[in-house]
Chain A
Amino acid sequence: MRRTDGETILLWTLPVVAVVWLSAFLLFPGFVQPMSPTMSADEVAAFYRDPENLPRIRYSMILFNWFAVGLIPILALIVLQVRRMAHRTPIFSYSLLACAAGGPTIFLMADLFWLLAAFRPDRDPQLTLLFNDLAWVTFSTQVGFLIAQSVILALAIYLDRQPRPVFAPWVAHFNLVVAALLVPAAFAGTAMTGPLAWDGLLTFWVRNAAIGVWIAAMAVVLARAIGSQRVADEAGAA
């Protein structure tokens, strides 16, 4: 019987936080029908003042505030798998650790701006518009750490040259595809309408779907890698 190291517990936190994320996403009225950047200051202020919307904005963003960092333990488990790869230096695992804090921190900044906009909805509509813009631009354009995370992971997998690599090569290809799908969102500031706008097909739907699929796929791959690591450890110990 192996000693409890807690990795399984960390892994199983993911489905729980994923349910919370999905609920918060559906609860926030600005996501289900993504808010358009073309809304005027008065329309944005009216959105936050609407008694139907206001509690949903606050509760959803409080949920995100609590659980946005819930992905970090999963990223830490991925770092541990990268440590098992046949590399000469810890550069890839260090790089992934450096990225792990970046994504959630940026999301928390956006979350703060949304909560601030909702805190005093009676403020001057120009200020509510400002907080709303800061939230959406931070949320939409700041894909750098997520892109880096996928590219670094792909490189780490490609350079993991051993008979039984930790992750299969398709995981690397998949990460590169995800990284490519995140790139257009960086341009959200350049368009008020169309696919690049922050409510557009590429910036909102494709990007968020790519992040969702990445989390789901990586969870499965990670669970398998941890599973086979345990089998190998037990065979080695026997």
Chain B
Amino acid sequence: MNDKRELWIGWWTLVVFYNLYGLLFFVITRTQPPPQPSLEPAEIGSWFADRHYGLLYGYAVVSIVGGATAVMNATLAYSMRRMSVSRAFAYSYLVIYALATLPGMLIMGVVCTVGAMRPDRDPEIMSWLYDFAFLSFEGTMGVFLIGSLVWMAAVLLDENHVFPRWFGYLSLCNALTEVVVAPAWIFKSGAFAWDGAIAWWINMGVFVTYTTAFLTLLRRLIEREDFGTGPLPDLATDPGPGPSGAMKSAG
């Protein structure tokens, strides 16, 4: 579908990026699942030493592909433009998630690179870098909290059936995980610590479900898209020889 290539570029960027993100954080840099916050400075030194090349090369790749998030956020913002709600929702989402790239991965990349590049650095400073890396990553909540709530509100208010209502409630679950992660700033061990069952595992479980859900729903949105206004049509059983809708420029 030639008319939809911009949407497909956005969708494939999302799919490729999330897979790459998983690979880079879980396999190459091995910074996820997160290590314990309670490590001693000497143990933190060996944590950095263990994944020296993984951190340096992995986060180099993160720096190269990090800007792809702009296309992803733009695609999701477009989905909100197709809804019956004000443009303010799409614009808020776009700005919030542009900002989210920094705590979502780039600060972690810079800090882990600085930690890994000088293994002989003072262990106390290495310990500070370790905290900075993981707390910037796990403990920056607002952008994802408000971003998910903006999306939730747009989905629940929308009359064009761009996303089903249940996805609005799933957005609420994703937003709530950002609330329960707050104790990571207080606890150094246990379920509420940054590597804990509540602060990390539930958070990650919901995030993976949420991401899989919106990738699937977004794909269906693109298939149904008619570039018109008003309710989004149901998925046509037979698309016929070509789109019959008038060429309208969206903007």
Task: Indicate if A28 sits at the interface (CB-CB under 8 A).
Answer: no
A 97-123 binary contact with B (CB < 8 Å = 1; else 0): 111011001100100000000000000
Q: Which chain B positions have C-beta within 8 A of A187?
A: 56-57, 60
Task: Indicate if A189 sits at the interface (CB-CB under 8 A).
Answer: yes
A2-10, A131-139, A225-233: which lies at the interface: A131-139
Contact of B251 among A83, A133, A147 (CB under 8 A): A83
In the bound assembly, the distance between CA atoms of A212 and B62 in angstroms comes to 24
Contact residues, B86-112 vs A (CB, 8 A): 90, 94-95, 97-99, 101-102, 106, 109-111
Task: Indicate if A90 sits at the interface (CB-CB under 8 A).
Answer: yes
Find out whether the CB atom of A90 lies under 8 angstroms from the CB atom of B106: no
Q: Which chain A positions have C-beta within 8 A of B4?
A: 88
Find out whether the CB atom of A91 lies under 8 angstroms from the CB atom of B67: no
Q: Is the interface of A mostly helix, strand, loop or mixed?
A: helix
In the assembled complex, the CB of A40 is this many whole angstroms from the nearest CB of chain B, namely 10
Contact residues, A179-205 vs B (CB, 8 A): 183, 186-190, 192
Task: Indicate if B148 sits at the interface (CB-CB under 8 A).
Answer: no
B 1-33 binary contact with A (CB < 8 Å = 1; else 0): 001111101100000000000000000000000
Find out whether the CB atom of B75 lies under 8 angstroms from the CB atom of A91: yes
Task: Indicate if A127 sits at the interface (CB-CB under 8 A).
Answer: yes
Task: Indicate if B36 sits at the interface (CB-CB under 8 A).
Answer: no
Contact of A94 among B7, B9, B62, B78 (CB under 8 A): B78
Between B59, B63, B68, B81, the greatest number of chain A beta carbons within 10 A of the residue's beta carbon is seen for: B63
Find out whether the CB atom of A186 lies under 8 angstroms from the CB atom of B64: yes
Contact of A101 among B75, B99, B129 (CB under 8 A): B99
Contact of A90 among B64, B68, B118, B251 (CB under 8 A): B251
Q: Which chain B positions have C-beta within 8 A of A175?
A: none
Task: Indicate if A45 sits at the interface (CB-CB under 8 A).
Answer: no
Find out whether the CB atom of B94 lies under 8 angstroms from the CB atom of A190: no
Find out whether the CB atom of A91 lies under 8 angstroms from the CB atom of B109: no
Find out whether the CB atom of B66 lies under 8 angstroms from the CB atom of A144: yes
In the assembled complex, the CB of B29 is this many whole angstroms from the nearest CB of chain A, namely 12
Task: Indicate if A61 sits at the interface (CB-CB under 8 A).
Answer: no
Find out whether the CB atom of B77 lies under 8 angstroms from the CB atom of A144: no
Contact of B71 among A87, A101, A129, A148 (CB under 8 A): A148
Residue ranges of A at the interface with B (Cβ–Cβ < 8 Å): 37, 83, 86-99, 101-102, 105-106, 109, 126-127, 129-130, 133-134, 137-138, 141-149, 151-152, 155, 159, 183, 186-190, 192
Residue ranges of B at the interface with A (Cβ–Cβ < 8 Å): 3-7, 9-10, 53, 56-57, 59-71, 73-75, 77-78, 81, 90, 94-95, 97-99, 101-102, 106, 109-111, 113-114, 116-118, 121-122, 125, 129, 227, 249-251
List 15 additional A-B contacts (Cβ < 8 Å) besides A91-B78, A133-B118. A88-B250, A91-B9, A95-B71, A98-B73, A98-B95, A129-B118, A130-B121, A144-B62, A146-B67, A159-B6, A183-B64, A186-B64, A187-B56, A189-B113, A189-B117
